[in-house]
């Protein structure tokens, strides 16, 4: 019984509640599965109602307390059944409806009162709503230089393009960096604060500090990147770009910044399904991707049974009405999206693992500036900035705020504050 209550709680906790219409089948399947071990029945029920399997860890954690209450309830049941049986054997099977109602009215009233008191207390004590993006909001670019953020492509003043780009940047006093508005965790725009954060944004500030200049961030996408680089609107594109020089005309890529792994982002309850190579090789699936790239084409060639579609907006995949089975994305970016949508998991396709590199792009006319960037990137690897930036933005180290030790008196009873 406690296991079934936990399934209901888990569905409410992850905002995937089990509807009243499903209760009859839920009770039947729950009772039948309860004949087996809870370590098997609970994951089965979680998967059956599309609740993330991660909740099983919470079940195991609370199993110590639940086990003690289960023993208590079992003992009460055994004693009550024994007393009732003795009463029927000595006095005959007589049921007094009045006494039955009176005896149960008081316990039911006490339980209802306790539940109401708990609801009122927790409504007062716990006044911070859960924000599934809180970890990403804690990741903030460090050591910022003066910068300006454009939300659309601006008009720029004409320059003498015969002068090397590095000299032009130093003369004007700022570098124009191209960014994508939604490319976690490399660059992403906070629409509330109108700030941009991310792995490559930190690199941009470090580069500007090295050059002793300011930054203008200008948005771009895959369709207009070549044009904006070649007409001088942006000096450099930095936003998790795949290193694919053969697909770009008059565009030069820097040395690889980091290595990425091509992966699948799928709903948590389907994690085991896509972890089995036989399913991906034989079954028909429909995958989405935020942008086209040659690695997706390689995936197409080896997986003819999979249909691919390009979707420009993340909402097209993450919406409840989405008909996609998975999202083809780098494992590093997919892990960031799971912070926004905790009901999803990252799967690395097997048996082959597709790896590719992220790089920065400049115009084909600025080979001298690219040489400077490559040397600068090498220096960042030597001085440890590359590893530090990777640990912070990709691995999330430092995203959790340091808090004082948890205490019942402070955190539950609210007897004092830090």
CATH number at residue 191: 3.40.190.10
**Is residue 264 located within the same domain as residue 348?**
yes
**Is residue 239 located within the same domain as residue 372?**
yes
**Is residue 274 located within the same domain as residue 184?**
no
CA 131 to chain centre: 12
Q: What is the mean pLDDT of residues 49-58?
A: 78
Residue-level pLDDT at 202: 94
**Is residue 148 located within the same domain as residue 271?**
no
Residue-level pLDDT at 374: 95
On whether residue 201 sits in a domain, the answer given is yes
**Is residue 195 located within the same domain as residue 338?**
no
Judge contact between 242 and 357, C-beta under 8 A.
yes
At 381, the pLDDT band (50, 70, 90 cuts) reads: very high
More confident residue, 234 or 46: 234
> Quick check: helix, strand or coil at residue 196?
strand
User: Residue 215: how many CB atoms within 10 A of its CB?
Assistant: 23
For 170-206, write each residue's pLDDT tens digit: 999 999 999 998 888 899 887 667 789 899 999 999 9
pTM, 2 dp? 0.71
For 18-45, write each residue's pLDDT tens digit: 878 888 888 888 888 877 777 788 888 8
**Is residue 350 located within the same domain as residue 270?**
yes
Long-range contacts of 246-252 (CB under 8 A, 24+ apart): 246/294, 247/294, 248/361, 249/364, 250/226, 250/363, 250/364, 250/365, 251/225, 251/226, 251/361, 251/362, 251/363, 251/364, 252/361, 252/362, 252/363, 252/364, 252/366, 252/367, 252/370
Whether the bond into 22 is cis, omega within 30 of 0: no
Judge contact between 139 and 399, C-beta under 8 A.
yes
Encode 166-180: b = buried (16+ Cβ within 10 Å), e = exposed.
bebbeebebbbbbbb
The rounded percent of the chain whose pLDDT value lies above 90 is 24
Judge contact between 56 and 46, C-beta under 8 A.
yes
On whether residue 125 sits in a domain, the answer given is no
User: Residue 273: how many CB atoms within 10 A of its CB?
Assistant: 17
> Quick check: helix, strand or coil at residue 369?
helix
Between strands 285-289 and 326-330, the pairing is parallel
First-to-last CA distance in the chain? 40
Cα separation, 417 vs 208, whole angstroms: 42
**Could you identify the residue written with the tokens 């959790």?**
400
For 77-90, write each residue's pLDDT tens digit: 899 889 888 888 88
On whether residue 41 sits in a domain, the answer given is yes
At 48, the pLDDT band (50, 70, 90 cuts) reads: confident
As a whole number, the mean pLDDT across the chain is 82
The number of distinct structural domains making up the chain is 3
More confident residue, 246 or 58: 58
**Is residue 370 located within the same domain as residue 385?**
yes
On whether residue 100 sits in a domain, the answer given is no
C-alpha count within 13 angstroms, C-beta hemisphere, residue 38: 17
Q: Which domain holds residue 82?
A: 2-94
On whether residue 71 sits in a domain, the answer given is yes
Residue-level pLDDT at 280: 77
> Quick check: helix, strand or coil at residue 360?
strand
**Is residue 21 located within the same domain as residue 87?**
yes
Please say if the pLDDT value at position 348 is more than 60: yes
Please say if the pLDDT value at position 349 is more than 80: no
More confident residue, 291 or 212: 212
Please say if the pLDDT value at position 134 is more than 70: no
Please say if the pLDDT value at position 146 is more than 90: yes
């Amino acid at each position: 019984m406690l296991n079934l209550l936990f399934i209901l709680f888990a569905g409410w906790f992850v905002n995937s509640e089990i509807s009243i219409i499903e209760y009859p089948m839920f009770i039947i399947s729950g009772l039948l599965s309860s004949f087996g071990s809870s370590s098997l029945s609970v994951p089965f029920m979680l998967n059956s109602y599309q609740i993330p399997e991660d909740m099983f860890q919470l079940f195991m954690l609370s199993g110590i307390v639940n086990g003690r209450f289960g023993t208590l309830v079992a003992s009460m049941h055994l004693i009550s059944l024994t007393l009732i049986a003795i009463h029927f054997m000595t006095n005959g099977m007589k049921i007094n409806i009045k006494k039955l109602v009176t005896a149960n009215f008081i316990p039911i009233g006490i339980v209802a009162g306790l539940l109401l008191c708990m609801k009122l207390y927790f409504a007062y004590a716990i006044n911070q709503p859960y924000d599934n993006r809180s970890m990403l909001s804690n990741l903030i670019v460090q050591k910022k230089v003066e910068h300006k953020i454009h939300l659309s492509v601006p008009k720029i003043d004409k320059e003498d393009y015969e002068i090397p780009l590095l000299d032009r940047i130093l003369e004007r006093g700022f570098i124009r960096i191209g960014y994508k508005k939604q490319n976690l965790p490399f660059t992403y725009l906070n629409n509330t604060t109108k700030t941009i954060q991310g792995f490559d944004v930190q690199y941009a500030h470090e580069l500007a500090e090295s050059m002793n200049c300011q930054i203008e961030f200008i948005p771009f996408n895959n369709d207009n990147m070549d044009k904006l680089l070649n007409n001088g609107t942006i000096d450099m594109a930095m936003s998790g770009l795949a290193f694919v020089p053969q697909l770009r005309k008059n565009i030069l890529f820097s040395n690889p910044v980091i290595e990425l792994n091509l992966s699948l982002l799928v709903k948590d309850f389907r994690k085991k399904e896509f972890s089995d190579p036989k399913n991906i090789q034989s079954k028909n699936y429909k995958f989405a991707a935020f942008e086209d790239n040659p690695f997706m084409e390689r995936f197409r060639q080896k997986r003819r049974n999979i249909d691919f579609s390009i979707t420009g907006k993340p909402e097209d995949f993450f919406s409840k009405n989405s008909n996609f089975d998975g999202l083809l994305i780098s494992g590093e970016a997919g892990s960031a999206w799971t912070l926004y949508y905790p009901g999803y998991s990252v799967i690395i396709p097997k048996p082959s693992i597709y790896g590719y590199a992220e790089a920065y792009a400049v115009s084909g006319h600025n080979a001298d500036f690219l040489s400077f960037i490559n040397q600068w990137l090498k220096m960042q690897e030597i001085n440890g900035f590359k590893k530090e930036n990777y640990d912070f933005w990709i691995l999330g180290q430092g995203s959790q705020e340091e808090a004082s030790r948890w205490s019942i008196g402070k955190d539950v009873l609210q007897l004092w504050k830090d």
